[in-house]
């Protein structure tokens, strides 16, 4: 990108990713300069509206040969490095393909997908969850590479945090928390060695040209496939107050995914409980004093598999 083609990130996009934290604010301030540097480094031309996402900014671009691509910019931190490691290991197998990266600047050059068409657009839920199951099967087929967080360490840390979290909750929520702790203790010794996505909800599956659907925005770690199910179980209904049959949806999705992935259901339910515990601990850190309604719905739907 030459000086004759000035590039700016709209103020409203930058405002959409600024959290108010001083470190975050400084990163946002430097982001336009970083974008210009990577556009020049990889010989890219902006080719569409810049978008703000949950984790950063996405710039539609074209490469020197005219190939469409996307420049993703995230704050340089361990999670960004983990995403790069995971995408390299998958090499496009079920995921968006990583074309180039600069971990020091938080930049990833990705193949262009159809950002306006996610799996949320698929009306038939059985079809949607089977697409997720097919992606999981491919993602989990890759052994975990070095340099990623491990589920065993994460689980041990969560269990260590439970005693401090219990007093914040009422007696009913403490009972639920204690049951999750027992479930996790049953499987903690076998944390698994597969490469997990960690955030494969319907919105993180986009239509593509290379394949019908591909996963995006992984937060890779190494562990048991059962720990990867919760985002798909929770997708859609938890943000829609008009949904009245959420427990049935959760059970149906759980049945399909565990069958497709050949998972022991009690084992998978225990690792799903670990996700519910993780989310609850994060909520408590953010000042909440109760287990979320959606977490209770998922938990109750899978109650028959609890220890």
Average pLDDT over residues 241-249: 88
**pLDDT the model gives residue 28:** 86
Average pLDDT over residues 84-107: 97
Q: What is the mean pLDDT of the chain?
A: 93
Same domain flag for 98 and 181: no
User: In terms of Cα–Cα distance, which of 224, 237, 227, 220 is closest to 278?
Assistant: 227
Strand, coil or helix: 190: coil
Confidence grade of residue 242 (pLDDT, cut at 50, 70, 90): confident
**pLDDT the model gives residue 234:** 96
User: In terms of Cα–Cα distance, which of 110, 84, 115 is closest to 219?
Assistant: 84
**pLDDT the model gives residue 307:** 58
Confidence grade of residue 20 (pLDDT, cut at 50, 70, 90): low
Neighbours of 89 (CB within 10 A): 20
The answer to whether the beta carbons of residues 198 and 224 sit under 8 Å apart is no
Average pLDDT over residues 71-94: 96
Q: Is residue 234 flagged as an active site residue?
A: no
What's the pLDDT tens digit per position in 109-139?
999 999 999 999 999 999 999 999 999 999 9
**pLDDT the model gives residue 110:** 98
**pLDDT the model gives residue 210:** 95
d(CA 65, CA 8): 23
**Domain span holding position 189:** 117-305
Q: What percent of the chain has pLDDT over 90?
A: 82
pTM (2 d.p.): 0.93
173, 199, 228, 234: the catalytic one is: 199
Same domain flag for 153 and 52: no
CATH number at residue 22: 3.30.200.20
Same domain flag for 144 and 284: yes
d(CA 216, CA 44): 21
pLDDT exceeds cutoff 90 at 12: no
Domain closes at, from 112, 141, 169:
112
Assess if residue 172 is contained within a domain: yes
Same domain flag for 215 and 132: yes
State the total domains in the chain. Answer: 2
Assess if residue 3 is contained within a domain: no
């Amino acid at each position: 990108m030459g000086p004759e083609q000035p590039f700016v990130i709209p103020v409203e996009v930058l405002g959409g990713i600024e959290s108010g934290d001083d470190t975050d604010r400084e990163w946002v301030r430097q982001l336009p300069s970083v974008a210009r540097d990577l556009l020049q480094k990889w010989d890219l031309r902006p080719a569409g509206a810049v978008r703000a996402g949950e984790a950063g900014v996405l710039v539609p671009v074209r490469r020197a040969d005219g190939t469409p691509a996307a420049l993703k910019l995230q704050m340089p931190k361990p999670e960004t490095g983990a995403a790069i490691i995971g995408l390299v290991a998958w090499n496009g197998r079920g995921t968006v393909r990583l074309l180039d990266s600069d971990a020091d600047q938080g930049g990833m050059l990705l193949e262009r997908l159809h950002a306006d068409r996610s799996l949320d657009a698929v009306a038939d839920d059985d079809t949607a969850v089977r697409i997720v199951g097919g992606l999981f099967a491919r993602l989990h087929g890759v052994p975990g590479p070095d340099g990623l967080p491990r589920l065993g360490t994460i689980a041990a840390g969560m269990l260590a945090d439970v005693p401090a979290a219990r007093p914040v909750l009422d007696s009913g929520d403490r009972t639920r928390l204690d049951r999750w702790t027992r479930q996790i203790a049953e499987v903690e010794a076998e944390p698994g060695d597969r490469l997990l996505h960690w955030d494969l909800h319907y919105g993180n599956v986009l239509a593509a040209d290379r394949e019908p659907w591909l996963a995006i925005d992984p937060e890779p770690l190494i562990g048991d496939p059962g720990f990867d199910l919760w985002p798909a179980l929770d997708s859609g209904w938890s943000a829609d107050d008009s949904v009245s049959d959420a427990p049935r949806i959760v059970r149906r999705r759980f049945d399909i995914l565990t069958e497709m992935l050949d998972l022991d259901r009690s084992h998978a339910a225990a690792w799903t409980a670990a996700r519910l515990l993780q989310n609850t601990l994060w909520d408590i850190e953010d000042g909440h004093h109760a287990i979320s309604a959606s977490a209770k719905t998922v938990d109750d739907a899978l109650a028959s598999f609890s220890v």
